[in-house]
Structure 1
Amino acid sequence: MRKVLLVLFWFPATFILLLLNLAILSAYRSAGGAMPLSATPIGDTNFQLTASAGTSQVLGAAVIAGDARALLLQLFLERHNSPMASFADAIVAEADKNGIDYRLITAIAMCESNLGKRMPTRDSYNAWGIAVYTGRQTGATFDNWQEAISWVSRYIKEKYYDRGIVDLKDIGAIWAPPSVEKGYSWTNCVEGFQGTIY
């Protein structure tokens, strides 16, 4: 019996409260009480944050937009003690010039030579295993890192990207054919290291 009375009371009470709320809202709006919300842009993006505890140490002064790819690449190369660390800007510039992913040649170098630390000879500057099939101990040789980075970036563009070969599995099948039978180990390695450069 109690439940029935509760249900019978609940419906009319809800209806009356709903009408009361609508009447109050209507009266409030007609009196000009409701102000529309608007977003105003912040004119000055130059601001300072101060450390807590009253030290008044400035933590930041400005927000500067820029391309962080070279810095991310440099940090990755330095973290792995690569001799190519000082060439991060060149790697990004050559990647942009040739329309390839800026992380690609670095990831390939990591898989092929541990970023230039495990090459047959230190003066070959061949961190990518280019032309090792020639029978020469070192494969292709370059005069310096800048030349090697430029050549490899252009090589990837012309041999792969210009021919529509952009999927890493397809590139890996040509670059390192034995890796296909091993479950695309080269592709997995390159993709894995590309994913860590962020």
Structure 2
Amino acid sequence: MPRPVSLKSALILALPLATLAGQAMAHTGHAGHSGLMGGFLHPMLGWDHLVAMLAVGLWAASLGGRALYALPLAFPLVMALGALAGMAGIALPGVEAGIAASGVVLGLLVAFGLRAPLSVSVALVGVFALFHGHAHGTEMPGGYGPLAYGAGFVLGTMLLHLAGLGLGLAARSGAGRMAMRAAGGLIALTGAAFLLGAA
């Protein structure tokens, strides 16, 4: 089992998120940014994306072992494929519902400390990543280069995964575990609110 990370280290990992979290209101605020910065901000500026990205890191920390790197790597890889499909105009039904459901499901997995085999865990986050990626691709503002925009949202997503991972690894004590489960519950509730809106 990996050695627990100190709270100080976790806060350092979460610092990039903390500087942007105050702006996370909706999928707006891209105007005036470069493609790279616009892509980077896209997962940060929507609560539906942000909570799911954090949940991937938290769940990976909860699972431990190979999940520590498999989940935070699988998500952006599949997400990039979903974004390519979105940019190409390939339809994917139920995107908004899928994004909202990712917050509900991943939040509940964290809240209840549920475990799954690595293959199932990777497949699950991969399915959700497809929806998130498709939304990133279809919502790319005109005038942005797809390469820079894609690099931006992959980087932003990976930082959110690292923030969740760092916080999850720091929360392996009794009190920390309770805080992590409470965070999972809050993520699930946030996803449920979006799911009701998408219905």
Q: TM-score, normalised by structure 1?
A: 0.27
More helix by share: 2
Structure number with greater Rg is 1
Q: Which has the higher contact order (CA 8 A, sep 6+)?
A: 2
